[in-house]
Amino acid sequence: MENIGELEKQIAELKTQMAGFNATITENKLSMIVFSGDLDKALAAFIIGTGAVAMGMDVVMFFTFWGIPMLRASDKAAKNKDIMSKMFGWMLPKGASKLKLSNMNMGGAGTAMMKGLMKKKNVASLDQMIELAANLEVKIYVCEMSMNLMGFTREEMIDYPGLTYCGVAKFLEEAMNSKVQLFL
């Protein structure tokens, strides 16, 4: 009976340790902040995101600052914008097909060349990748604070299943429980 008492003590200890582990457990998830509005980084973001789904991971992409304009729908417009919001609207790309390379853009020639190459070598375009991401149930979060700052509105954004408008706290909640986090 002494033996049993000893075992009970050891089991209780294991349970306590186990409870500690529970707080550190992560899900098989990848969380990404898409801060950049460059075509090359946007492509990288979606290649990583869709690739991670293919490997069985859940994926959350949080779009903020320059990353937001790529989610604008090319065929939508918002009414009653103030002058500042209109300026941001004119100056920033209207949708994924308008992004430029961060490097070798050469007044648009480099970007056109890269797009041509991608087509020729059967690499999906950014628009196609966003569609694929939707099919793969990649979650897209939009940073409401930076959207408001730039004067963009929800009615201008693409139709994307489950698109969520939120703050950084919501993203951090996901990131905390993710195996992989990246800032692009």
Q: Which residues make up the interface to its own copies (CB under 8 A)?
A: 3-4, 7-8, 10-11, 14-15, 17-18, 20-21, 23-28, 30, 33, 35, 37, 40-41, 44, 47-48, 51-52, 54-55, 57, 64-66, 84, 87, 91-92, 102-104, 113-114, 117-118, 121, 123, 145, 148-149, 167-169, 172-173, 175-176, 178-184
Residue 91 Cβ, how far from its own copies at the closest point, in Å? 6
Residue 154 DSSP code: G
Closest CA to 141 of 94, 184, 174: 174
Choose between 29 and 139: whose C-beta lies nearer to its own copies: 29
Residue 124 Cβ, how far from its own copies at the closest point, in Å? 11
What H or E segment, with its residue span, contains residue 40?
A: helix 39-54
Grouping H, G, I as helix, E, B as strand and the rest as coil, residue 142 is strand
Residue 70 Cβ, how far from its own copies at the closest point, in Å? 13
Grouping H, G, I as helix, E, B as strand and the rest as coil, residue 33 is strand
Choose between 13 and 161: whose C-beta lies nearer to its own copies: 13
Residue 110 Cβ, how far from its own copies at the closest point, in Å? 8
**Residue 70 in tokens:** 């790529």
Q: Per residue, what are the HEC states of 58-123?
A: EEEEEECHHHHHHHECCCCCCCCCCHHHHHHHHHCCCCHHHCCCCCCCHHHHHHHHHHHHHHHCCC
Choose between 128 and 161: whose C-beta lies nearer to its own copies: 128
